[in-house]
Amino acid sequence: MKVNHSVKRALPNFFTFGSMMCGFLSVVYAVHQRFELAAWLIIIAAVADALDGIMARLTKTTSQFGVELDSICDVVSFGLAPAFVLLAYNAPSPNDLLGASPILIGAVLLYLFAGGFRLARFNAELQGFGKEHFKGLPIPSAAITIASFLLFVQDSPVFTSEKILTVSIVLALGLAYLMASKIKYDTLPKPSKSGLKENPFTVILLLISIAAAVATNGRALFYIFLFFILYGILRAVLKFFKKFSK
pLDDT above 70 coverage of the chain, percent: 87
Which CATH number describes the domain made up of 5-245?
Answer: 1.20.120.1760
pLDDT band for position 201 (cuts 50, 70, 90): low
Look up residue 190 and give its DSSP letter. Answer: P
Between 69 and 208, the higher pLDDT residue: 69
- pLDDT tens, position by position, 85-127: 999 999 998 888 888 999 999 999 999 999 999 999 988 887 6
pLDDT higher than threshold 60 for residue 29: yes
- The alpha-carbon radius of gyration of the chain (Å, integer) is 18
Question: How far are the Cα atoms of 20, 42, 69, 214, 244 from residue 24, in angstroms, in the given order?
Answer: 6, 9, 16, 24, 46
The whole-number pLDDT of residue 26 equals 98
Cα(28)–Cα(26) distance, integer angstroms: 5
Highest mean predicted confidence (pLDDT) among 49-63, 111-125, 130-144, 153-167:
111-125
Cα(211)–Cα(213) distance, integer angstroms: 5
pLDDT higher than threshold 90 for residue 28: yes
pLDDT band for position 56 (cuts 50, 70, 90): confident
Mean pLDDT of the chain: 86
CA angle 34, 35, 40 (to 5 degrees): 105
Question: How far are the Cα atoms of 46, 47, 115, 169 from residue 120, in angstroms, in the given order?
Answer: 18, 21, 9, 24
Residue 178 has phi, psi (to 5 degrees) of: -65, -35
Cα(215)–Cα(30) distance, integer angstroms: 25
Give the SS3 label for residue 218.
coil
